[in-house]
Structure 1
Amino acid sequence: MKRIRVALTLVLLGLPAAGCGAAARDTGFTPADPPAATATSDAPGAPGASSAPAAPPSSPAATSAARPGRKPPTGTREIEVERDLDESPIVTGARFAEHDGFDRVVIDVKGALPGYTVRWVPKLVQEGSGDPIDATGGAYLEVRMRPAAAHGGSGKPTWTGGPIFQAGLGNVQNVVKTGDFEGVVGVGIVLDHRAGFRVTEQRSPNRLVIDVAH
């Protein structure tokens, strides 16, 4: 698979809070953020714009809206962003929601945003052991964050539950915690079928947003 390295670019988002535009099923939408840095495969070989967060999968289902004019992503190339950090950021959870034409997965981070890769893989496996994960779909996106941890100094997990979180959205079927091993935190996205995706960084609070087309 051809790999691209995406430069971070400051873009003006101007994102509204949810509630306008075409209706979309959500698990509890939260307000959008001020301008954020973006790395994305929104179109083959070209960066796109950023997006707004979803809310916890445990939240009651609610009716909300995608950003007016926000189109589903089309790019499918691997994304890689490298960062050299003195301290590993802490992953505290993942959330997901369905919007008009795409699904959204949000990975919450405490501390600076880590480096990451987002790529297609033939199957999901556990970080470290390589053991297969029993989550079957038509396609799999793997998110690997480095440096990162999903536990505190005492070893207590900061991302609880799972490892498989059932989503049942338009394309995203499950979100999987694939591991927390030697400075790498893995998140697998189980899809019904392969489709375009984009990756967006958002801050205050920090999180990584992955949109996948239906």
Structure 2
Amino acid sequence: MRPSSPSGVRPPRLRVAVHLAGLAALAVLTACGPATQTAMSGGPPASRSSSEDPREDSSGDPVGEAPEDSYEDQGPSGGSTTSGGSTSTSTSEVDVDRDDMEPAVVTSVRYAAHDTYDRVVIDLDGDVPGYNVKWVDEFVQDGSGRPIDVRGGAYLQITLFPAHAHDENGVPTWKGGPVYPADLDNLTDVVRTGDFEGRVGIGLVLARQAAFQIQEQGGPNRLVLDVAH
């Protein structure tokens, strides 16, 4: 593990296919961060297991509060700019590549409901790595390819690379799971889909399709994803 860069976040090279479909339903929302998307899918039945409550951070504070997350408390829609870059919202895949960096370590994944969107915060030790966000038909385990037994109306897959969810001794740094019940307005479960060959998979099980945005934040480094209700 290596410390954050002085700026907190390395500038990305983005390959983001942006289509502005579906924004009318989100006109009441405002945003902040580098890129965002959405699509539909279906999937299989559910199993749940969790040893912690990721809706609170290590101090016991709720994840969704704006002061803790260090930026305006706004959801998917497009319009404002943060230290992570400009924002757009659509229904397309997000793909950010970062080469020649040490793997980041996922230390926790937290979530909380807001008035018009649900927020997921991926806490990182190290620089923000590359990431891919896309809609899939189902979640499968990295490596084995076996389907993961969860049920929802839509499935959003986040893959971080290079990244680990364990320390140098192989001890998990993102504990619990692999299915973490969320029971929010749209986000029903968070799933650890893998920690394999320098890639960490995080699946969001949603009740319904909705636009989303993902943004990079520093001090400490983290990825923040907001998905509309």
Q: What is the TM-score when the length of structure 2 is the normalising length? A: 0.67
Identity between Structure 1 and Structure 2 (%): 50
- 1:41 equivalent to 2:41? Answer no
1:205 paired residue number: 220
Q: Do the aligned residues in 2 keep the contact of 1:150 with 1:157 (CA within 8 Å)?
A: yes
Q: Do the aligned residues in 2 keep the contact of 1:89 with 1:109 (CA within 8 Å)?
A: yes
Distance in 2 (CA, whole Å) between partners of 1:111 and 1:122 is 31
1:56 to 48, 54, 57: 54
2:15 paired residue number: 5
Structure 1: runs of 5 or more not aligned: 8-35, 44-54
Q: Do the aligned residues in 1 keep the contact of 2:55 with 2:62 (CA within 8 Å)?
A: no
Distance in 1 (CA, whole Å) between partners of 2:217 and 2:61 is 23
| Larger RCO: 1 or 2 (CA < 8 Å, sep 6+) | 2
Distance 1:146 1:68, change over 3 A: closer
2:164 paired residue number: 149
Q: Do the aligned residues in 2 keep the contact of 1:85 with 1:147 (CA within 8 Å)?
A: no
Distance in 1 (CA, whole Å) between partners of 2:201 and 2:177 is 13
Q: What is the TM-score when the length of structure 1 is the normalising length? A: 0.72
What one-letter code is carried by the residue in structure 2 that aligns with 1:192? A
Distance in 2 (CA, whole Å) between partners of 1:177 and 1:207 is 17
Distance in 1 (CA, whole Å) between partners of 2:160 and 2:149 is 22
- 1:70 equivalent to 2:85? Answer no
Counting only pairs closer than 5 Å after superposition, residues 129-168 of structure 1 correspond to structure 2 as 129-168=144-183
Query: CA deviation digits over 1:175-206, x for unaligned, max 9?
Result: 11111000000000000011100000001101
Distance 1:88 1:71, change over 3 A: closer
- 1:114 equivalent to 2:129? Answer yes
Distance in 1 (CA, whole Å) between partners of 2:100 and 2:123 is 17
- Aligned residues between the structures: 171
Q: Do the aligned residues in 1 keep the contact of 2:37 with 2:134 (CA within 8 Å)?
A: no
Distance in 2 (CA, whole Å) between partners of 1:179 and 1:145 is 10
Q: Do the aligned residues in 1 keep the contact of 2:64 with 2:113 (CA within 8 Å)?
A: no
Q: Do the aligned residues in 1 keep the contact of 2:62 with 2:112 (CA within 8 Å)?
A: no
Distance 1:69 1:104, change over 3 A: closer
> Which structure 1 residue ranges, 4+ long, deviate > 6 Å from structure 2?
59-69
What one-letter code is carried by the residue in structure 2 that aligns with 1:41? T
- Please report the RMSD computed on the Cα atoms of aligned residues, expressed in angstroms: 2.8
1:194 paired residue number: 209
Structure 2: runs of 5 or more not aligned: 1-13, 18-31, 39-52, 78-88
